[in-house]
Amino acid sequence: MSKEFAVIKTGGKQYKVSKGDTIKIEKLPKEHKKGAKVAFDKVLLYDDGKTTKVGAPFLDKAKVTGTFESEGKAKKIDVIKFKSKSRYFKKRGHRQIFNTIKIEALK
């Protein structure tokens, strides 16, 4: 018994997903409410356990659907610019926004 999976592209990154997975992705362009349906049509690869389909670059008529669960912010990272012997020091903080999506179906 093998599990089907797909590789999708969103937010400039690629994610390997299966049905029932919960993934953290870059912030989606539109506002979504909890329980809203989200569809990813940029599917790079699909494997059902018997055959593997690879897109060039994307598969036609392939879609991964999921439900929006939450939006949050990651841990704070410090961005530091420093040049020695010149009294140059800049410190900034940044918290990246992410969305949590639960994968419902691979088509």
pTM of the entire predicted model:
0.83
Contacts of 53 (CB under 8 A, 6+ apart): 45, 46, 47, 59, 62
Peptide bond just before 57 cis, omega within 30 deg:
yes
101, 38 Cβ separation under 8 angstroms: yes
Q: What percent of the chain has pLDDT over 70?
A: 98
- Per-residue confidence at 2, pLDDT binned at 50, 70, 90? low
Q: What is the mean pLDDT of residues 85-92?
A: 97
72, 98 Cβ separation under 8 angstroms: yes
Give the span between the Cα atoms of 44 and 58, in whole angstroms.
5
Q: What is the mean pLDDT of residues 12-18?
A: 96
β-pairing, 43-47 with 5-10?
antiparallel
